[in-house]
Structure 1
C-alpha cells in the first residue's frame, strides 16, 4: 500500500494523525461518514447547548487515544506488531458504527431486540468482505477472540479508550468541569501483566478521579432529568407512530429508510438490511418529527410539537418510585380535560427509572500493578476511595407529565373539544 499521512484538527486533542491507507479507507467509507449525522449525546444539547458533537468526532478521538495507548505500551516492551496496532485502531474506529439515530435513546425501538454492538459487528464483517479480508484481525480483537486480551480491553473495558474519550469530549462540549479526567496520565500509567491490561500504582488517584468523574457525568449530564424526559418523549413518538401504523392510520416518514423500519412488523433480520440501516441518521428522525407536528393524531402531533419547540413534559426525579395513585390521578385528569383515551394518556403521563453503577468489580476489574509485582483490584487498595459498596447501582425514578397550563396549546380549550 502507498504511504499516506493526513491530519485532522480536533478541538480536544489538537492534531490527530491518520497514517495508514487502510485506516483512511475505513474513515472514507460512507458507513463511517454516516456517523457525522448522529449526535454523540442525543438531546443533551437541550440542557447544554454546546453538546452537538457527533459520533464521528468521538470515533476519531478514541482512535487517537488508542494510538497513544499502544505507543506507551510498546515503549514499555509490550510486544505489539504493526498489524496488531492497525487492527486495534480500526476496531476502535468502528466500535460505535452500529448506532442508529439518537443512539441509546432509540435502541431496540426502531429495530427491536438488536443491540448496537451486534450491528457494529455485522457492519464490520460486511466491510471486511468489501476490503478483501483486511479487517479480519480487527474483528477478532473487537470480539475478544485474540490471544492478547489487553487489546480488546482497550476497546471495551473499565479503562477503555472509548470511555476516556467520551468523558473528555463530552465534558469539553458541555462545559461540565466535573467530567474532566487526566486521560494523558492514565495512558502513561498503562501496563500489561500476564496478558491483561493494568495500571501502575502511581495512577491510583487518577483512576479514582476517572471513576468519580464518570459517576458525576452520568447524573449531571447523561441522566439529567430534562435529557431523560426529552429522550423518553422521542421513544413515545416512535412508539405512537408505530401503533398508528398497526391500526392502519397513515403515518408517512419523510425518508424511505425511516419509513421502511417504521412499517416493519415483528422481529427483523437486520443482517439482510444493513444498507437500509446505514441510510438512517438523526436527520431522518428530526424531519419526521417536524412533519408530524401537523399530523391529525392529537397525541403524536402534541408530542412532536413539544419536542421541536422545547416545550417538554414536566419531569420529576426521585429516589422512590412514583406513587401509583398520583400517576393514575394525573392520567384521569388529563383524560377529562382533553377527551383522550386512557391508552393515549399513557403517552403523556408516564414513569420509569434510570440507574448507574460507579464501579462493579464483578463485571470487570481495574487491576493495579504494584512495584512488588502484587496485583490488587482498585477497590481493595489501602484507603481506597472506590469501595465495593459503589458496585451497587444507584437508581432514580422519573415522572413525566403534561403541564396543565400547556393543555390548551396542544389540545385546545374545553369549548373546542
Structure 2
C-alpha cells in the first residue's frame, strides 16, 4: 500500500473542547503532527496578547490547526465523499493543507510580523518546501506533493474548491477559530450552528456552496464573526498590549542598530534585526523566547526598554481614548511636542492605532471586491445565487467597512508631577477634551 493511502493500525484521537474529538486515521497526518515544526505551534498562542484581556485565551496555534483539520476531514469524508463534483484524489491534499495552514506563524503572530516586516504565509511556504521534517513527510506522498500543499495554502492551487475549504469567507479556518476563541475567552459571540452548516455545504467547481435551506445558519456565522472582531479581536485592552509589544521590539531593534551594549544580548533576534532571518533562525523563535528577553530586559540600562518590558510583563498597559487622526491632526502634533517637553518620548509613549474590518463583501460591477462571495444553491440543485441577493441582513452589511481609531499613552507618567508639572497638566487637559 502506498504511503498516501496508508492507515494507522488504530485510529488516534485528540480530546478537543470544541469538536469533542479530533480523529486521525491517515499515517501521513499522524506523521505531520509529530514533526518538530508542527509541535512548535504548541508554544505560540492563537490569540497573541488577548490573554491580557481574557485570561482564558491561552490556547495555541497547535489547538487551532488540529481543529481546522478536523472540520475539513468531516467535510471531505462525510459530506463530499461520493459526490461527482468532488475528486477523491484531493482528499489527502485538503487534509494536509488544513493541518499546516498556520505552521509558519511566529510568536505573537501579526504584531511580530509588522515590526520586522515578516509574512507568516511566506514562512509557511518555506517550511512546506524547505529542508524540514514536514517536507520530508510530504515528499514521501509524492515528489510534487509539497508544492501542491503550498499552493493550496497560498491560494494558487488550480482546484479552487480545495482552496475554498481553508480560505474563503466561510471556511474551516474561520469556523474553528471563531468557536475556539469564543470558548477560551468565555464569550458567547463566536457561537453558531456549525453542524447545520456542515449539513448544507456542497462541492462545486470553483468553491464550496451552501444549500438555500441553510441560509440562516450562514447569516448567523457571519454575524458571529462580526461580533468576535469587535468584542474580542479588536478589544482596546488587547490592542494596548499589542502596542506595548510592538514598541518594545522596536526599541530593542533601534538600540541594536545604534550599537547599544545589552546586558543580555538578543541572540535570538540578531538575524531579525539584521533583516536576514533564515528559516532555521525563525523556527527557533516562539513566545517563550520572546518572554525570556522581556523578562531580563527589565534590568537593562536603557530606561525606555526597561520601562516597556516592565509594563508588558506586569500588565501596566497604556490607557486609551477615541481618536480620529483625520480630524485631529493639529491636536496630535501639539501632543507630540508637549510629550517631548515633558521628557516623554512620543515615538514610544504616544501611539495611534486603528482597527478595520469588512464583515462581508461580494462582486459588484465597477466596484472592486476584496473577497470571493458566498453562494447559495437553489432548490433546483443547479442555480447559484450570491448570498446578499437572498438575505436582507447580508445586503445591509455587504461592502461596509468599519474602522475604529484609538490613541494610547501611559497615564501614570502624566499624573506624576514630580517634574514638568505644567506641561503634563496641559497634556491632561487636551486628553480630557478628547474624552468629551
Contact 1:313 1:401 in 2 (8 A): yes
Could you tell me which residue of structure 2 aligns to residue 299 of structure 1?
304
Q: Tell me which of 226, 234, 249 is aligned to 2:260.
A: 249
Displacement, 1:385? 0.6
Could you tell me which residue of structure 1 aligns to residue 360 of structure 2?
359
Could you tell me which residue of structure 2 aligns to residue 228 of structure 1?
239
Q: Tell me which of 29, 45, 67 is aligned to 1:23.
A: 29
Could you tell me which residue of structure 1 aligns to residue 425 of structure 2?
none
CA deviation map 1:24-81 (0-9, x unaligned)? 1111111110000000001111111111100000000001001111124335614545
Query: Helix, strand or coil for the counterpart of 2:385?
Result: strand
Contact 2:322 2:406 in 1 (8 A): yes
Displacement, 1:178? 1.3
Determine the C-alpha separation between the residues in 1 that align with 2:419 and 2:155. 61
Whether 1:6 and 2:7 are equivalent positions in the alignment is no
Contact 1:76 1:191 in 2 (8 A): no
Determine the C-alpha separation between the residues in 2 that align with 1:232 and 1:322. 22
Comparing 143-152 with 299-308, greater Cα deviation is found at 143-152
Whether 1:279 and 2:284 are equivalent positions in the alignment is yes
Displacement, 1:104? 1.1
Displacement, 1:143? 3.8
Query: In the superposition, relative to structure 1, how do residues 407 and 171 fare at CA in structure 2: closer, same or farther (>3 Å)?
Result: same
Determine the C-alpha separation between the residues in 2 that align with 1:250 and 1:195. 56
5+ residue gaps in structure 2?
363-368, 421-436
Determine the C-alpha separation between the residues in 1 that align with 2:296 and 2:322. 31
Displacement, 1:295? 1.5
Whether 1:206 and 2:217 are equivalent positions in the alignment is yes
5+ residue gaps in structure 1?
none
Query: Helix, strand or coil for the counterpart of 2:170?
Result: coil
Determine the C-alpha separation between the residues in 1 that align with 2:29 and 2:260. 46
Determine the C-alpha separation between the residues in 2 that align with 1:140 and 1:188. 28
CA deviation map 1:224-282 (0-9, x unaligned)? 111111101111111111111111112466663334323x1xx43x5xx1111111011
Whether 1:196 and 2:207 are equivalent positions in the alignment is yes
Comparing 281-290 with 388-397, greater Cα deviation is found at 388-397
Could you tell me which residue of structure 1 aligns to residue 385 of structure 2?
376
Contact 2:86 2:203 in 1 (8 A): no
Determine the C-alpha separation between the residues in 2 that align with 1:3 and 1:374. 38
Displacement, 1:323? 2.1
Could you tell me which residue of structure 1 aligns to residue 427 of structure 2?
none
Q: Tell me which of 290, 293, 313 is aligned to 2:295.
A: 290
RMSD of the alignment, in Å?
2.3
Could you tell me which residue of structure 2 aligns to residue 35 of structure 1?
41
Contact 1:320 1:396 in 2 (8 A): no
Query: In the superposition, relative to structure 1, how do residues 41 and 330 fare at CA in structure 2: closer, same or farther (>3 Å)?
Result: same
Could you tell me the TM-score, scaled by structure 1's length? 0.89
Contact 1:352 1:399 in 2 (8 A): yes
Whether 1:398 and 2:400 are equivalent positions in the alignment is no
The aligned length equals: 399
Could you tell me which residue of structure 2 aligns to residue 151 of structure 1?
162
Contact 2:103 2:124 in 1 (8 A): yes
Could you tell me which residue of structure 1 aligns to residue 190 of structure 2?
179
Displacement, 1:21? 1.2
Query: In the superposition, relative to structure 1, how do residues 317 and 33 fare at CA in structure 2: closer, same or farther (>3 Å)?
Result: farther
Determine the C-alpha separation between the residues in 1 that align with 2:87 and 2:212. 27
Displacement, 1:85? 1.3
Determine the C-alpha separation between the residues in 2 that align with 1:164 and 1:22. 24
Displacement, 1:184? 1.6
Whether 1:45 and 2:51 are equivalent positions in the alignment is yes
Matches within 5 A, 1:257-336: 257-262=268-273, 264=274, 267-268=275-276, 273-318=278-323, 321=326, 323-336=328-341
Displacement, 1:109? 1.8
